[in-house]
C-alpha cells in the first residue's frame, strides 16, 4: 500500500465476461496440467525441511477467527475484514431464529467477542486469478486498512495470520501465495507466520490445528504427510483434540456429485494421521472435533458422530466471494459410510444431518429467481452474444456477396413462406463451412457447459437442447428483421438496410440469448439442483456473508458462527498509500445458530 495512486475499489468479479472466462479457464487448465510436474509443496519441504508447528499453548484465553473465500468485491471483503477487526463485537441470535433440531436448548444470551489473536484463511484468498495486483487490490488493501499497522503494538502482541490455498490461489502454481503468506510479511497489523502452504498450530488445553493443502483436488503429497506425521509423533499426546482445516467441503461433494473422490482422500488422511493411526505410523490416536472449510460460499453445519464425541463439519465460505445457494444442500449425508479402505471398514456412527444453513433454504430459493434476470447482471455477456450474431451474419453475407440475386438479407426477405425461408437458409448454410463450424462449436460448447457432476447425461438432456435453442435464436432474429424492415424501408438503399437489419438482430439476439441462458440456469438451480457455481456466480450477490469466531478457555472450545445479512456498500474512501482509509457503518451481524460448544474433558 505504499503507492500514492488512487485506489479503485474492485467490484464483484463478472464471471460471464468472455475475456475473464477465457483467461481463468486457461490458467485453470495450465495449473492443473503442469502443477503435478512442479509441485510447490515438495519444493517448500526441500527448502524448509525443519519447519515445525506454531505454538500458542501458553495462552489461557485464546480467540481465533476463521475466514474463507475472500478477495472478490471490495464491499463484501472489507465488511468482513472490519468485523473480524472489531473490538467487543456483540453477537446474538436473531429474534426469528428457528432451530432445525426440535427440542434444541435455545441460546438467548448476547455474547461479547474479541478479535482473534490468530486469523485463519481457509482458501481462495483472491478471485479470479492470483496475480499479485489482484492480491493487493482484493485482499491486502481491504484487510490491511481494516486493521491498520500500529507501530505501538509489540511484536509478540501482533495478531498472527495463517492461510491455506484454494484452487484460485493455485492457478499460478502457488507462487504469489507463497510470497504473500510464507515469507513473514506484514498485512496491516497482522503478521504472517507460516513457512509452507500447510501447517500445524499448537493451541492451549491440548487442542491442535491441522491445516492441509490439497492442491487442486489432488492427493496430499508425501512431504506434507511426513510433516503431519512428525508433528503428531514428536509433539502430540494421545487423546489430543484436532481441528482440521481443509480447502473444500468434501462431505457435501461426495453426497451431491458422481465420482467425487475428495472425501475418500480426506478420510484417508484423517484415519492415518488423526483418529485411527491406521498404519501404526504414530502410536497415538487423537480426537477430530471439528473440520472447517470454505469453497462453497455459504454456511452449513453437519454433525458426524464419533466414538464418544462429535466432529462438527462446518462450511464457512462467506468471506467476500459471490454467494452460493443453500437449498441444494442435502438434509442428510447418507453416502459417507460407503467409504471403506483396505485397512479398515467405515466407522460412521450416524448419517450426519444438516443442523444449520445460512442463508436459509427459503431465502436461497428466493434469490435463485433473480437468475431469470441474467442480462441485467451480465451486460458484457449480452454484448458477447450480440457480437457473435454480427460475426455469423457477416459470414452469411459474404456467401452471397457476388450473387446477382442480392445480399443474404435481401434474399431472405424475399422468401414468401416459412418453407421457402427454411430451404433458403439451409441451402446457404451448406455452402458455408465456416458458419457450420462455428455453429457446431456453439452447440458443443453448450453441451460441455452442462453440469454432469450430479446428472450424468445432462449434456444430452439439457445441454444439447440449450445449444440448439441458442442457434435458432441467432437465426430467428436475422430472419425476423429482414422480413419486417424490407417492406417498411423498401426505398432505402441495400447496404444501409442490411446494416440496420443486422444491428437490430444483434441487439435482440444478445438480449434474448442471455434470457435463454438465465432460464437454463434457473431451471438447473431451482428444479434440477445442479449448476450451483454457474447459476449463482451469474448474480455476483455480495450479501449473506459469514465467518467463524472461536474461543478457547480452560472449560471448552466455543465456535460462534457469525452471519451478515447485508454488507455495507457505502464505504467512504480517503487518502492514498499507507494513509488509505475507508469509513462507513459497520454492518450488522448475528449468530447464525447457537454457539457450538466442545467441552475440554
The predicted pLDDT at position 98 comes to: 75
Q: Which residues pair with residue 301 across a beta bridge? A: 314, 356
Cβ burial of 106 (10 Å; 0-12, 13-18, 19+) is exposed
**In terms of pLDDT, which residue wins out, 279 or 80?**
80
**Which ranges in 55-208 belong to alpha helices (H)?**
74-85, 132-135, 141-146, 175-181
Decide if pLDDT at 397 tops 90: no
Q: What is the per-residue pLDDT for 106?
A: 63
Residue owning grid cell 430451404? 423
Per-residue confidence at 192, pLDDT binned at 50, 70, 90? Answer: very high
What's the rounded Cα separation, in Å, for the pair 135 and 439? 39
Q: Three-class SS string for 498-548?
A: HHHHHHHHHHHHHHHHHHHHHHHHHHHHHHHCCCHHHHHHCCCCCCCEEEE
The 10 Å CB-count burial string (b at 16+, else e) for 239-248 is: ebbbbbbbbb
Residue 460 has pLDDT above 90, yes or no: yes
pLDDT confidence of 253, banded at 50, 70, 90?
very high
pLDDT for residue 482: 82
CB 123 within 8 A of CB 164: yes
Beta strands in 61-156 (DSSP E): 62-67, 89-91, 111-113, 118-121
User: For residue 46, is pLDDT > 60?
Assistant: no
The whole-angstrom separation of Cα 598 and Cα 98 is: 22
pLDDT at 225: 92
* Residues in CB range of 232: below 8 A, 6 or more apart: 273, 274, 282, 284, 286
Q: Which of 431-445, 454-468, 492-506 has the lowest mean pLDDT?
A: 492-506
What's the pLDDT band for 408 if we cut at 50, 70, 90? confident
> What is the β-pairing status of strands 241-245 and 186-187?
unpaired
Nearest to 216 by CA among 259, 156, 261: 261
Q: Write the pLDDT tens digit of every residue in 520-573.
A: 999 999 999 999 999 999 999 999 999 999 999 999 999 999 999 999 999 999
Q: Tell whether the model's pLDDT for residue 128 goes beyond 70.
A: yes
Give residue 228's pLDDT: 94
Between CA 250 and CA 265 the distance in angstroms is 9
Q: 46-60, 281-295, 396-410, 507-521: which range is least confident on average? A: 396-410
pLDDT in tens, 339-360: 776 666 666 677 899 999 999 9
Domains for the chain: give ranges and CATH numbers: 51-359+544-599 (3.60.21.10), 374-536 (no CATH)
d(CA 213, CA 197): 6
* Kind of pairing between the strands at 590-591 and 287-293: unpaired
% of the chain surpassing 70 pLDDT: 90
Alpha carbon distance, N-terminus to C-terminus of the chain: 46
The per-residue pLDDT for 25 is 62
Write down the mean pLDDT value for the chain.
88
Compute the average pLDDT of residues 67-94: 95
The pLDDT, as a whole number, for residue 501 is: 85
pLDDT tens readout for residues 92-110: 998 888 776 665 666 678 8
Q: What is the pLDDT of residue 395?
A: 83
Beta-ladder partners of 404: none
Beta bridge partners of 66: 120, 548
Sheet containing 310-316: which strands, arranged edge to edge?
54-55, 199-202, 207-211, 241-245, 287-293, 310-316, 299-305, 354-358
Amino acid at each position: 500500500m505504499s503507492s500514492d495512486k488512487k485506489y479503485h475499489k474492485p467490484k464483484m468479479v463478472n464471471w460471464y465476461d468472455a475475456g475473464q472466462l477465457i483467461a481463468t479457464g486457461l490458467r485453470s487448465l495450465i495449473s492443473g496440467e503442469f502443477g503435478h510436474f512442479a509441485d510447490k509443496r515438495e519444493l517448500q519441504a526441500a527448502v524448509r525441511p525443519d519447519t515445525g508447528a506454531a505454538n500458542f499453548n501458553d495462552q489461557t484465553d485464546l480467540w481465533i477467527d476463521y475466514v474463507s473465500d475472500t478477495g472478490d468485491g471490495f464491499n463484501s471483503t472489507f465488511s468482513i475484514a472490519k468485523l473480524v477487526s472489531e473490538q467487543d463485537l456483540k453477537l446474538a441470535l436473531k429474534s426469528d431464529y428457528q432451530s432445525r433440531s426440535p427440542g434444541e436448548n435455545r441460546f438467548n444470551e448476547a455474547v461479547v467477542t474479541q478479535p482473534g489473536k490468530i486469523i485463519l484463511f481457509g482458501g481462495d484468498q483472491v478471485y479470479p486469478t492470483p496475480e499479485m495486483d489482484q492480491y493487493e487490490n482484493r485482499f491486502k488493501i481491504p484487510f490491511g486498512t481494516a486493521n491498520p499497522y500500529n507501530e505501538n503494538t509489540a511484536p509478540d502482541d501482533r495478531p498472527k495470520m495463517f492461510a491455506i490455498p484454494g484452487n484460485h490461489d493455485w492457478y499460478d502454481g502457488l507462487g504469489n501465495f507463497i510470497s504473500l503468506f510464507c515469507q513473514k510479511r506484514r498485512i496491516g497489523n497482522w503478521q504472517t507466520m507460516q513457512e509452507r502452504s500447510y501447517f500445524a498450530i499448537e493451541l492451549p488445553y491440548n487442542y491442535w490445528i491441522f491445516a492441509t493443502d490439497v492442491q487442486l483436488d489432488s492427493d496430499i503429497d508425501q512431504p506434507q504427510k511426513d510433516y503431519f506425521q512428525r508433528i503428531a509423533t514428536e509433539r502430540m499426546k494421545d487423546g489430543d483434540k484436532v481441528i482440521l482445516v481443509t480447502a473444500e467441503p468434501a462431505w457435501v461433494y461426495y453426497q451431491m456429485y458422481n465420482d467425487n473422490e475428495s472425501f475418500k482422500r480426506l478420510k484417508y488422511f484423517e484415519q492415518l494421521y488423526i483418529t485411527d493411526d491406521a498404519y501404526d505410523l504414530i502410536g497415538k490416536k487423537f480426537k477430530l472435533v471439528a473440520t472447517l472449510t470454505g469453497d462453497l460460499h455459504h454456511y452449513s453445519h453437519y454433525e458426524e458422530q464419533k466414538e464418544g464425541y462429535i466432529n462438527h463439519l462446518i462450511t464457512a465460505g462467506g468471506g467476500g466471494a459471490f454467494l452460493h445457494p443453500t437449498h441444494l444442500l442435502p438434509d442428510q449425508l447418507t453416502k459417507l459410510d460407503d467409504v471403506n479402505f483396505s485397512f479398515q471398514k467405515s466407522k460412521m456412527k450416524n448419517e450426519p444431518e444438516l443442523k444449520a444453513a445460512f442463508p436459509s433454504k427459503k431465502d436461497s430459493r428466493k434469490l435463485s429467481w433473480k437468475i431469470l434476470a441474467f442480462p441485467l447482471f451480465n451486460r458484457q455477456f449480452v454484448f458477447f452474444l450480440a457480437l457473435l450474431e454480427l460475426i455469423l451474419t457477416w459470414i452469411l453475407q459474404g456467401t452471397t456477396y457476388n450473387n446477382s440475386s442480392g445480399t443474404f438479407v435481401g434474399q431472405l426477405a424475399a422468401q414468401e413462406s416459412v418453407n421457402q425461408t427454411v430451404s433458403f437458409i439451409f441451402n446457404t448454410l451448406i455452402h458455408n463451412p465456416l458458419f457450420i463450424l462455428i455453429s457446431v462449436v456453439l452447440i458443443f460448447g453448450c453441451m460441455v457447459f452442462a453440469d454432469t457432476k450430479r446428472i450424468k447425461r445432462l449434456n444430452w438432456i439439457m445441454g444439447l437442447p440449450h445449444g440448439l435453442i441458442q442457434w435458432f435464436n441467432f437465426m430467428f432474429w436475422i430472419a425476423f428483421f429482414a422480413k419486417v424492415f424490407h417492406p417498411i424501408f423498401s426505398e432505402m438503399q441495400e447496404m444501409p438496410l442490411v446494416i440496420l437489419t443486422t444491428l437490430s438482430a444483434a441487439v435482440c439476439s444478445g438480449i434474448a440469448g442471455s434470457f435463454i441462458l438465465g432460464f437454463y440456469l434457473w431451471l438447473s438451480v431451482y428444479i434440477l439442483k445442479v449448476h450451483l457455481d454457474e447459476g449463482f456466480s451469474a448474480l455476483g450477490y455480495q450479501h449473506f456473508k459469514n465467518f467463524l469466531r472461536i474461543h478457547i478457555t480452560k472449560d471448552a472450545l466455543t465456535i460462534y458462527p457469525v452471519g451478515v445479512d447485508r454488507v455495507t456498500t457505502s464505504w467512504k474512501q480517503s487518502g492514498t498509500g499507507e494513509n488509505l482509509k475507508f469509513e462507513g457503518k459497520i454492518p450488522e451481524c448475528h449468530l447464525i445458530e447457537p454457539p457450538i460448544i466442545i467441552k475440554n474433558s
